[in-house]
Chain A
Amino acid sequence: MAIEELALPLPSEAIRKHMQYAAWFADERVTRVELRGGELVVGLGDGADAAAVAAIRGKLERLAARFARMDDFEIREVFRTGRAGQAGQAGQAGEPPEVIEPYDELVARGWVVPLGVGQVALRGLALELLEFLDDRFVRRVGGPANARPEYYPGVMATDRLNRTNHFSSFPEHVHFVTHLREDLDVLDQFARELRDAGGWTPAILGKLERPMASPVVALNPAVCYHCYAAAENTQLDGDGFVVTARSRCHRYESGNHRTLARLLDFTMREVIYVGRPDFVKAERERGIALVRALIEEWGLAAWLETANDPFFTNDFEVKAAFQRQNDMKYELRLPLLSGSLAAASSNFHSVTFGKAFNITSRNRPVCTGCTAFGLERWIYAVFAQCGLDPAAWPAGLRADFGRWQASHG
């Protein structure tokens, strides 16, 4: 008899939340993940036999064991800003704003057009807001640090990406890029199968023998890796430098893709710090202060808290605990109807990337850090918190957006 779901009791809310995300990666047969009371419930689509269910349960238990110490991780709040009213009076810090779920209305107005899982087109006010926010992050966060603009490709060579430890830390997110092999037999058979099938179907590749080349590039998972690769084998003269760049980024997140909050293909603006530890830490602190000043001026409710990356490997706890104990990652969270959304992060990587790309200062590997903004998440959080009518936005945000519109025709 086919079994359609399995339930896994989990001891704490923190572990359940983590597993709600991670369970999608446990097995291809997982088609639904939800929390029911103290249990994680996993749907198995068309069902699975007892042996398959036991195997999936074993994988889920293995995964849950990685998060066993989640309850020990203290989340520390660095600052909190309150929501201002239309007239501009600042709200009380900690006072929750009224938020809406804006996605359906954004789609109804045509400002967001879903194009597939985790992919959207943006138009109208959504696109304007994205460009406005990006401009302000560049000018107001990158500007005071004299950030040098750089331009990066949307893909990264797999051998370079390998050196960032991205494959070993986040294997579930990697989007490899490949192509049909340079082989006339493969290319002709592909064209023939395509004709016979009346167009593309995923089954076509299964009919060909070894059709795809081994991937030598992957889609960008983050912007800053390119900065370090571009500075490879350099010895800095001074204490350090600051770069800003915007790039498309891609992370495969299985069944977790939703609205604008978790896209497969999204836009990230980063301000990147490279140099001596004191330089990078000072610039990172300045970046945090500048972000805070900006959201206070705009009148947005938000808070900055300690965080860790969602490492997917069995050394999760060692890496995550180290990040939290050393304040290596902060997330700026904005409220949503369903909780909150991390729309920016502030990161300190120590010498990980300086070593990986042989960037040195005074004969020691440099430190790196970055302030990163997920632009689609930002527009989503602003619409959720402020609504879809700019006339009703907090005075500070409305005024700054108006100035940007005036200078952009």
Chain B
Amino acid sequence: MTSDATAVLHQIDTFVRATFNVAADDPDFTSDVHLFDYGYLDSFGAQQLITHLEATYAIKISDNDLVKYPLNTLTEISKFIVDRQRGAR
């Protein structure tokens, strides 16, 4: 089953905010903020997010994917998920 990019974006936004304690009024936290540069996720947070995405969206994300595709922002991650579900990546 494939998902809608906007819905996925909203779901990941909710997961990251809740799991990594992002303040509701944090002005830097947008769909296009670099999650790693801005420190919302560290190496263990990234692992946690990947595990969540794989389980929730029934996809596999390999180490190569992390190098090959930009997966740094909520927008990039949600687009990747939808494309992967459609077999486009």
Contacts and interface: CB of A to CB of B under 8 A. Distances in A.
A321 to B, nearest CB: 6
Given A72-B63, A277-B37, A325-B63, A364 B43 contact: no
Contact of B63 (A321, A350, A364): A321
Nearest to B47: A318
Nearest to A281: B37
A288 to B, nearest CB: 16
B55 interface: no
A141 to B, nearest CB: 22
Interface of B: 26-28, 34, 36-39, 42-44, 46-47, 63-64, 66-67, 72
Nearest to A348: B37
Given A69-B63, A364-B26, A355 B47 contact: no
Which residue among B28, B44, B47, B63 has the maximum number of chain A CB atoms within 10 Å of its CB?
B63
Contacts of A242: none
A338 interface: no
A322 B27 CA distance: 26
Interface of A: 69, 72, 74, 277, 281, 315, 318-319, 321-326, 348, 350-352, 354-355, 362, 364-365, 367
Contacts of A355: 39
B40 to A, nearest CB: 9
Contacts of B46: 322
Contacts of B67: 74, 324-325
Given A318-B47, A322-B46, A277 B66 contact: no
A104 B36 CA distance: 46
B39 A350 contact: yes
A365 B42 CA distance: 13
A281 to B, nearest CB: 7
A354 B44 CA distance: 17
A309 B27 CA distance: 32
14 contacts: A72-B63, A72-B64, A277-B38, A318-B47, A319-B43, A322-B36, A325-B66, A325-B67, A326-B72, A350-B36, A350-B37, A350-B42, A351-B39, A362-B28
Contacts of B44: 315, 318
Nearest to B46: A322
A106 B43 CA distance: 43
Given A318-B47, A322-B46, A364-B26, A354 B63 contact: no
The 8 closest A-B pairs by CB, nearest first: A351-B39, A322-B43, A277-B37, A325-B66, A350-B39, A319-B43, A318-B43, A72-B63
Nearest to A280: B37
A315 B37 CA distance: 21
Contacts of B66: 321, 325
Given A69-B63, A321-B63, A354-B39, 20 more contacts: A72-B64, A277-B39, A315-B43, A315-B44, A318-B43, A321-B66, A322-B36, A322-B46, A324-B67, A325-B66, A350-B39, A350-B42, A351-B39, A352-B39, A352-B42, A362-B27, A362-B28, A364-B28, A364-B38, A367-B38
A400 to B, nearest CB: 35
A318 B64 CA distance: 14
B34 A322 contact: no
A362 B28 CA distance: 9
Which residue among B37, B42, B44, B47 has the maximum number of chain A CB atoms within 10 Å of its CB?
B37
Contact of A367 (B37, B43, B72): B37
A343 to B, nearest CB: 26
A281 B39 CA distance: 13
A277 B48 CA distance: 23
Which residue among B39, B46, B47, B72 has the maximum number of chain A CB atoms within 10 Å of its CB?
B39
Given A69-B63, A325-B63, A365 B39 contact: yes
A350 B45 CA distance: 13
Contacts of A281: 37
A74 B64 CA distance: 9
Contact of B34 (A277, A352, A364): A277
Contact of B38 (A69, A324, A351): A351
A72 B62 CA distance: 10
A367 B39 contact: yes
A159 B60 CA distance: 41
Contact of B42 (A74, A277, A322, A362): A322
A281 B63 CA distance: 24
